[in-house]
């Protein structure tokens, strides 16, 4: 990339501010996760303080990471990517800044609301309704900006990233309103069904299209190779658009919900292999022949490791939905390992790569430290692997123990202790990686404008340098 | 049609919305209409009392539902494990949940399922357990809840009154053998 001393982040303030605030909430909300991992091992750790109770911090961790970090950073990266794919500027930076400010106020509100016991009572839709209403406003403003930018584009053809992003904007509106508002008008199993429709589509029709759409931009861009197959990306997009929405009930396999609905959700869960494989083949084939770059470049490392985790997580998903597999892994720590691989291993890796690629271009300065970014990658990657694998092994074995009802419940809890210890230490390693990423972001942003002789510094050092 | 959508955002918008609505409505609205059991309460089901509702709100506030499911699934180990004194726990049915808003079915079992916990333990057991679970169950990793005992144990009493209702839609114990 070229460095231009006359240009600053003020040309793209909405993208810059979203990325900065999201990175900040990333270190805050993962620290909450770490606190809760500690409570698994030391249940009385800070146990007399009501607002630090495990069950109050849990929604702060999940909602905070999902919305305060991942959704926010995706929005920032979308503000960066969309104008570049349309050949114009963001439709309104003022509107963009308003979007950032309102959304950050919601997340700040959540940071206080959850510890004080404000919990709407449904998973991932725990945000008190007055805050959820502001999220809807934010999303309308955001969608307006995205669609207006696309409609005033200079290039006629819409690249696949834009389909995913536009699809994500439309579906998020439906999914979010269903989960946070419509579901409250139902009760019992109807409500549970709507709740899991929301929970699953939050992953499948919010974070998947946004994350995949961004990766479809960053992977060809960073590896400097054309997308492997345009047609494949099209098959992938329309098949996920059709299939994903049917799978919500697979959260209640073997539960008190109609068998036919379980079967429908299983069929569609298994069919998800189609869109997933189109994405994976496309991503890997695009970088094929460029793997030497992956070795040096932290951005490509995050992208390709993210794709690998995406492959694994999307193979697990359909398998979990089978009745027999569900009877073992459902409700265990296996699922926690699976969920962390999806949100941290796949979509956060894509987002981190996007930030490492995009932020230098937004601030018109080189990345503060490529080395630090590489260190950050290895911490997140190894820590993450141990984290996920530990919970799979422990969770699967716990699931088998649950199926033998002669084993007392408490023995299956005691059995998990070493695995929870492993998760805590692996979580610390992951957190170190996240913190270094945050530090890198802040230093890149705040670094003085480089002197002209430093500007030639390449982003990626050649081998042996 | 798909080719046109590559250039035309209008067609794109309509297709993406239509695909979503087909799957969405057929998996949420259709069952709500045809599955009568989802909205018909079990016979003789009593609405929650005011105290029980206060207790349920505490259950919701403290996030009890993150660690405890409320569903005996159609799996033999569930009925055996969550039974009591030699009697298997009846499988949970949709009718039992009709009065629950928000529902508390849960997704994770860090602690045992509570769908049939009502009447298994008496108030004094719960008192000791909520103050410090490890006093009764060695190796438990449940959080202590000392703040429920302020103001003459009001919150504790409310919570227990709710917990004792769980699973009692069905009279499943011989000779009404329930603790109070």
Tens digits of per-residue pLDDT, B37-74?
999 998 888 899 999 999 999 999 999 999 999 999 99
Nearest to A187 by CA among B136, B48, B11, B164: B48
The stretch A244-267 carries a mean pLDDT of 96
B37: tokens are 């059991």
Q: Are residues B111 and B138 in the same domain?
A: yes
pLDDT band, residue A465 (cuts 50/70/90)? very low
Other CB atoms within a 10 A radius of the CB of residue A323 amount to 16
Q: Give A106-129 pLDDT, tens digit per residue.
A: 999 999 999 999 999 999 999 999
A256 contacts B73? CB cut-off 8 A = yes
Instruction: Examine the fold and report which residue of A129, A154, A185 is the final residue of a domain before the chain moves on.
Output: A129
Domain boundary among A129, A147, A167: A129
Q: What percent of chain A has pLDDT over 70?
A: 95
Is residue A242 assigned to a domain?
no
Q: Is residue B72 part of a domain?
A: yes
Residue B131 lies in a domain: yes
Alpha helices (H) in A224-272, listed in sequence order: 230-243, 259-271
- Residue A451: the pLDDT is 63
Q: Say whether A241 and B20 touch across the interface (CB within 8 A).
A: yes
Q: In terms of domains, do B13 and B82 share one?
A: no
Task: Count other C-beta atoms under 10 Å from residue B62's C-beta.
Answer: 22
Which pLDDT value is given to residue A47?
85
Mean pLDDT (chain A, rounded): 94
- For residue A463, pLDDT beyond 50: no
Question: Given B12, B24, B141, which is nearest A413 (Cβ)?
Answer: B141
pLDDT digits (tens, 9 = 90+) for A320-358: 999 999 999 999 999 999 999 999 999 999 999 999 999
- The verdict on B16 and B72 lying in the same domain is no
CA–CA gap between residue A64 and residue A198 (Å, rounded): 17
Cα(B28)–Cα(B7) distance, rounded to whole angstroms?
33
Answer yes or no: is A398 within a domain: yes
Calculate how close chain A gets to B25, using CA atoms only, in Å: 9
* pLDDT tens digits, A389-420: 999 999 999 999 999 999 999 999 999 999 99
Residues A229-239: tens digit of each pLDDT: 999 999 999 99
Residue B43 lies in a domain: no
- The ipTM (two decimal places) reads 0.95
B27 lies in the same domain as B81: no
Residue B81 belongs to some domain of the structure: yes
Residue B4 has pLDDT above 90, yes or no: no
Mean pLDDT, chain B, rounded, equals 93
pLDDT score of B76: 97
Does residue A3 have a pLDDT over 80?
Answer: no
Structure confidence by residue, pLDDT tens digits, B79-95: 999 999 999 999 999 99
Verify whether the Cβ–Cβ distance B9 to A255 is below 8 Å: no
Contact A178 B27 (CB under 8 A): no
Regarding whether B167 and B136 lie in a shared domain, the answer is yes
Same domain assignment for residues B81 and B139: yes
pLDDT recorded at residue A61? 97
Contact A156, A88 (CB under 8 A): no
Q: Which of these, A170, A319, A248, A177, lies nearest to B23 by C-alpha position? A: A248
CATH number of the domain at B65, please. 1.10.760.10
Site from A46, A121, A330 to mutate, B interface, most B CB atoms within 10 angstroms: A121
Share of chain A above pLDDT 90, in %: 91
Total count of domains within chain A:
2
The pTM of the full predicted model, rounded to 2 decimals, is 0.95
Enclosing H/E stretch for A221? helix A208-223
Rounded-to-integer distance, Cα B155 and Cα B172, Å: 28
Q: What is the pLDDT of residue B10?
A: 86
pLDDT digits (tens, 9 = 90+) for B6-41: 778 888 889 999 999 999 999 999 999 999 999 999
Per-residue model confidence as pLDDT tens digits over A263-288? 999 999 999 999 999 999 999 999 99
Residue A2: predicted pLDDT: 59
Other CB atoms within 10 A of residue A448 CB: 6
Asked if residue B45 is part of any domain, the answer here is no
d(CA A8, CA B67): 48
Q: Is residue A14 part of a domain?
A: yes
- Best mutation target, B38, B54, B117, to test chain A (most A CBs within 10 A): B38
Q: Which domain holds residue A328?
A: 321-465
Neighbours of B131 (CB within 10 A): 15
Is residue B39, in this structure, part of any structural domain at all?
no
Based on the structure, what is the number of domains in chain B? Answer: 2
The answer to whether residue A461 scores a pLDDT higher than 80 is no
Looking at the domain assignment, is residue B175 inside a domain? yes
How do residues A71-81 score in pLDDT, each as one tens digit?
Answer: 999 999 999 99
Torsion (CA) A443, A449, A452, A454 in degrees, nearest 10 = 0
Residue A78 pLDDT: 98
d(CA A53, CA A56): 5
CA distance A170 to chain B (A): 7
Mutation for testing the A interface, residue in B66, B120, B136 having most A CBs under 10 Å: B66
Contacts of residue B20 in chain A, CB cutoff 8 Å? 170-171, 174, 205, 241, 245
Q: What percent of chain B has pLDDT over 90?
A: 84
pLDDT at A462: 42
**pLDDT digit string (tens) for A156-175?**
888 999 999 999 999 999 99
Choose among B92, B120, B106: nearest CA to B59. Answer: B106
Residues B100, B16, single domain; the answer is no
Structure tokens at A175: 């999914």
β-strand partners of B84: B87
Separation CA A9–CA A17 (nearest Å) = 9
**B112 vs A332, A336, A409: nearest CB:** A409
- The mean per-residue pLDDT over the stretch A42-61 comes to 94
Residue A464 has pLDDT above 50, yes or no: no
Please check whether residue A223 lies inside any domain of the structure.
no
pLDDT of residue A419: 98
* Domain hosting residue B85, numbered range: 50-179
Same-domain check for residues B108 and B170: yes
- Whether A44 is covered by a domain: the verdict is yes
Residue B63 shares a structural domain with residue B30: no
Per-residue pLDDT band for A179 (boundaries 50, 70, 90) equals: very high
Per CB-CB distance under 8 Å, the chain B contacts of A187 are: 97-101, 103
Task: Kindly report the nearest CA distance between residue A25 and chain B, in angstroms.
Answer: 22
Query: Is A406 a member of any domain?
Result: yes
Mean predicted confidence (pLDDT) in A373-380 = 98
Based on the fold, state whether residues B155 and B100 are members of the same structural domain. Answer: yes
Number of residues assigned to chain B: 180
pLDDT at A422 over 90: yes
**Averaged pLDDT, A96-104:** 98
Q: Which residues of B touch A191 (CB under 8 A)?
A: 100-103
- Residue A134 belongs to some domain of the structure: no
- Residue B42 inside a domain? The answer is no
Q: How far is CA B39 from CA A101, A170, A186, B72, B97, in A?
A: 42, 31, 9, 19, 9
The count of other CB atoms within 10 Å of the CB of residue A431 is 19
Asked whether residue A273 is assigned to any structural domain, the reply reads: no
């Amino acid at each position: 990339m070229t460095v231009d001393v006359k240009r600053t982040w003020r040309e793209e303030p909405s993208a810059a501010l979203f990325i900065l605030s999201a990175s900040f909430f990333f270190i805050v909300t993962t620290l909450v996760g770490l606190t809760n991992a500690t409570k698994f091992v030391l249940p009385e750790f800070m146990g007399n303080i009501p607002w630090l109770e495990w069950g109050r911090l849990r929604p702060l961790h999940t909602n905070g990471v999902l919305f305060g970090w991942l959704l926010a950073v995706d929005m920032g990266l979308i503000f960066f990517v969309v104008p570049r794919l349309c050949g114009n500027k963001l439709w309104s930076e003022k509107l963009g800044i308003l979007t950032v400010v309102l959304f950050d106020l919601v997340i700040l509100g959540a940071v206080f609301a959850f510890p004080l016991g404000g919990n709407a009572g449904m998973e991932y839709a725990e945000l008190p309704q007055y805050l959820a209403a502001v999220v809807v406003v934010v999303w309308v403003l955001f969608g307006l900006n995205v669609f207006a930018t696309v409609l005033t584009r200079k290039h006629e053809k819409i690249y696949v990233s834009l389909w995913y992003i536009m699809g994500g904007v439309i579906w998020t509106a439906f999914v979010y309103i269903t989960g946070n508002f419509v579901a409250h008008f139902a009760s019992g199993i109807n409500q549970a069904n709507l709740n899991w429709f929301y929970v699953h589509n939050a992953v499948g029709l919010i974070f998947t299209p946004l994350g995949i759409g961004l990766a479809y931009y960053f992977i060809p861009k960073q590896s400097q190779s054309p997308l492997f197959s345009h047609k494949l990306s099209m098959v992938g997009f329309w098949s996920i658009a059709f299939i994903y929405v049917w799978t919500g009930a697979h959260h209640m396999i073997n539960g008190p919900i109609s068998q036919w609905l379980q079967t429908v959700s299983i069929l569609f869960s298994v069919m998800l292999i189609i869109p997933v494989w189109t994405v994976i083949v496309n991503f890997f084939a695009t970088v094929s022949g460029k793997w030497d770059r992956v070795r040096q470049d932290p951005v490509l490392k995050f992208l390709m490791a993210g794709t690998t985790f995406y492959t694994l997580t999307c193979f697990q998903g359909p398998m979990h939905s089978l009745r027999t597999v569900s009877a073992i892994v459902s409700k265990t720590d296996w699922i926690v390992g699976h969920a962390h691989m999806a949100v941290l291993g796949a979509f956060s890796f894509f987002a981190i790569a996007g930030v490492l690629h995009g932020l230098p271009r937004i601030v018109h300065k080189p990345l503060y430290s490529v080395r630090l970014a590489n260190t950050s990658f290895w911490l997140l990657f190894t820590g993450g692997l141990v984290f996920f694998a530990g919970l799979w092994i422990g969770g699967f074995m716990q699931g088998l123990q649950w199926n033998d009802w002669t084993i007392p419940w408490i023995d299956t809890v005691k059995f998990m202790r070493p695995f929870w210890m492993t998760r805590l230490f692996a979580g610390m390693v992951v957190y170190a990686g996240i913190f270094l990423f945050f530090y890198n972001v802040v230093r890149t942003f705040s670094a003085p404008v480089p002197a002209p002789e430093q500007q030639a510094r390449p982003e990626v050092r050649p081998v042996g340098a | 049609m798909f080719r046109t959508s590559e250039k035309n955002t209008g067609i794109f918008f309509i297709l993406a919305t239509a695909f979503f609505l087909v799957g969405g409505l057929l998996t949420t609205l259709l069952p709500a209409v045809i599955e009568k059991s989802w909205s018909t309460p079990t016979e003789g089901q009593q609405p929650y009392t005011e105290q029980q509702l206060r207790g349920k709100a505490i259950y919701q506030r403290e996030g009890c539902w993150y660690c405890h499911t409320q569903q005996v699934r159609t799996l033999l180990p569930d009925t055996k494990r969550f039974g009591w004194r030699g009697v298997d726990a009846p499988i949970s049915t949709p009718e039992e949940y009709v009065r629950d808003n928000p529902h508390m079915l849960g997704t994770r079992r860090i602690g045992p399922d509570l769908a049939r916990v009502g009447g298994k333990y008496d108030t004094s057991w719960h008192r000791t357990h909520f103050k410090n679970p490890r006093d009764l169950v060695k190796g438990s990793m449940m959080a202590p809840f000392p703040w429920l005992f302020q103001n003459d144990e009001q919150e504790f009493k409310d919570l227990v009154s709710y917990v004792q209702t769980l699973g009692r839609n069905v009279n499943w114990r011989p000779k009404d053998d329930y603790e109070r």
